[in-house]
Amino acid sequence: MNRRLASLDILRGADLWLLLFFGPVAAALVEVCPGLTGLQHQIEHVPWHGFVLWDIIMPLFLFMSGITIPFSMGKYRDGLRPDRAFYLKLLRRFCLLFFLGWVVQGNLLAFDWKQFHPFANTLQAIAVGYVVAALLFIHFDWRAQAAFCAGFFALYALAFVLSGSMDLDPQGNIAMLVDKAVLGSHRDGVTWKADGSWRYDGEYQYTWILSSLNFAVTVMLGCFAGEILRNGRRPEARAGFLALSGAVLVLAGLALDPLFPIVKKIWSSSMTLFSGGLCFLLIALTYYLVDVHGWHRGLDWLKYYGMNSIAAYCIGEVVDFSSVSASLLHGFSGWAGYPVLIVFGNVTILFFILRLLYRRGIFLKV
């Protein structure tokens, strides 16, 4: 099976739409309607322990990058030997994702070395996980890949066990200590003072260096899902096996939660299993509906986001269309819901940019 998966484009599009359209509009609605506490809870990351709708966005993005590997690199498993051009292309992808991550969240455009954050973004997590998963895919069979995946998972958990930080103190856990030791003043969440000194912001709890082990596991889980979709027998059986795998992982994550809590901010072991299971279930459902039964009426517009995900993410996170929206909607400035209109205008502009790119066949590839 080598045809393009419409379900993958639609699911990726739904993930980006949730981040770039629904989330901003919902947040603006919450600001003018404080009674929407249930909605607010779902569009903000859990403060520490737990999992809500907003927490699936990044794991699903990583997972889907892994699904593409068996389709784009299957020829190397079918007999073609990777050459120098392949490794250069892989390196180029890694560097471009890191660079775009610096643009989006690394403060690169501030042109201030003190404010530069080298590792602080989803695109960089994808870069690390994708390269690891790609190299494992082309050089090892699925058993060895699974062994490596289990090894990364175990090594991450072992670091917490040996450091005695299983209580997961937000600022004292081993993943946070590693980030502080490696990134220092260039860790995201650092505050600089006028006298040139700096301090860590106690509110910032995300980790990246040690968490990269589980970033790779998440992408590898996606790669395994891609193998099922590419090499499975009957389409219904593929969807069923994906769903079964997802259910097992969700249950495993919940079972591990009392020992090693589900904490998305450090990509904990239980969170890796739980979110990976949800990703399996989501691709199983989308594949069953879209590719098996062809039920995609009214969903194809999600491909505007899904087939140009990098462009959507970078434009949506970097470019502020507020001045355009304010210019067009200034006549409504007296309305109580004016802030919602501005945000809706911003995300609608992005939507039509992506629609134009899609219809012109322009896609940002890295």
DSSP string, 85-105: HHHHHHHHHHHHHHHHHHHHT
Is the model's pLDDT at 3 over the cut of 70? Answer: no
* Tens digit of each residue's pLDDT (9 = 90 or more) over 214-268: 999 999 999 999 999 998 779 999 999 999 999 999 999 999 999 999 999 999 9
What is the Cα–Cα distance from 254 to 273, expressed in whole angstroms? 8
286 CB-near residues (< 8 Å, 6+ apart): 7, 8, 10, 11
- How high is the pLDDT of residue 166? 73
* pLDDT band, very low/low/confident/very high, at 1 (cuts 50, 70, 90): very low
Mean pLDDT value of segment 52-76:
95
Position with higher pLDDT, 97 vs 1? 97
* pLDDT band, very low/low/confident/very high, at 35 (cuts 50, 70, 90): confident
State pTM to two decimals: 0.94
Is the model's pLDDT at 2 over the cut of 60? Answer: no
* Tens digit of each residue's pLDDT (9 = 90 or more) over 71-104: 999 888 877 888 999 999 999 999 999 999 999 9
Q: Per residue, what are the HEC states of 169-201?
A: CCCCCHHHHHHHHHHHHHCCCEEECCCCCEEEC
